[in-house]
Amino acid sequence: MAVQYYYLVSSLPLLKINEEPSITSSDFIGLCEPWVGKKDLSMVSGASIEEPFLKGPSHEVLRRWSDFEKNLRNTLVVSRAKKLGLEVKHFTRSGDDLDGALEQKVTEISQERSPFTAERKLIGLRWNFLDMLESDHHFDAGYLIIYFLKLQLIERLNRFTKERGTTYFQKAVLDSDRTLQ
């Protein structure tokens, strides 16, 4: 039977996708360290939204997350490649066939005029997938992995600010002006 982390899980603050969390991902790992065994801690701290592809044996939640992310990213690649008239097979990762329902959602998202709105919707897709996984994990390492991934999603979303967007836009305009000269 899997180790259960009743005290740790019950003491964690509730996460909401559109609210600033009262804990950072690094604080969360710090909270886990005294309570979680080495193997589970390694899996929890190794969970990533940036590089979700597995390099060895891992937890079932991480495998499912990796499969979902691979499918989502492949679907995004197919959608973008079609728009640009590019050959898809050079850009996709090997894996399962694309999910039709996911393909439809990605097509809708790719039609968003605002990159920020599209990114928010992609994060929402990921959040909903993690919610689905969470229904099978309540106090185990799987729950901690899901919690950590959700924290990372919120932190990613919170990095998008008007000020940062304006700075990046101005830099892109300046870079393109320099290129044209």
- Beta strand segments in 33-174, E: none
Domain enclosing residue 72, as ranges: 6-180
User: Cβ(33)–Cβ(42) under 8 Å?
Assistant: no
**pLDDT tens figures, 78-112:** 888 888 888 877 667 666 566 778 889 998 999 99
* 128 in any annotated domain: yes
Please give the model's pTM, rounded to 2 decimal places. Answer: 0.86
* 1 in any annotated domain: no
Instruction: Say which residues have a Cβ less than 8 Å from residue 89's Cβ, sequence separation at least 6.
Output: none
* 140 in any annotated domain: yes
Rg of the chain, C-alpha, whole Å: 19
pLDDT confidence of residue 97: 63
* 111 in any annotated domain: yes
Average confidence (pLDDT) over 111-124: 94
* 48 in any annotated domain: yes
* 58 in any annotated domain: yes
- Nearest alpha carbon to residue 55 among 142, 41, 63: 63
pLDDT confidence of residue 54: 74
Average confidence (pLDDT) over 114-120: 93
Q: Please give the single-letter amino acid code of residue 156.
A: R
Instruction: Answer with the residue of higher pLDDT: 52 or 13.
Output: 13
pLDDT confidence of residue 130: 98
- Nearest alpha carbon to residue 134 among 123, 150, 122: 150
**Residue 36 pLDDT > 80:** yes
User: Cβ(7)–Cβ(144) under 8 Å?
Assistant: no
Both tokens assigned to 178: 């320099």
pLDDT confidence of residue 99: 72
Average confidence (pLDDT) over 33-62: 90
pLDDT confidence of residue 95: 61
Q: How many structural domains are present in the chain?
A: 1
* 25 in any annotated domain: yes
Q: Please give the single-letter amino acid code of residue 165.
A: G
Instruction: Answer with the residue of higher pLDDT: 150 or 83.
Output: 150
User: Cβ(130)–Cβ(47) under 8 Å?
Assistant: no
> What's the sign of the alpha-carbon dihedral 120, 91, 70, 63?
negative
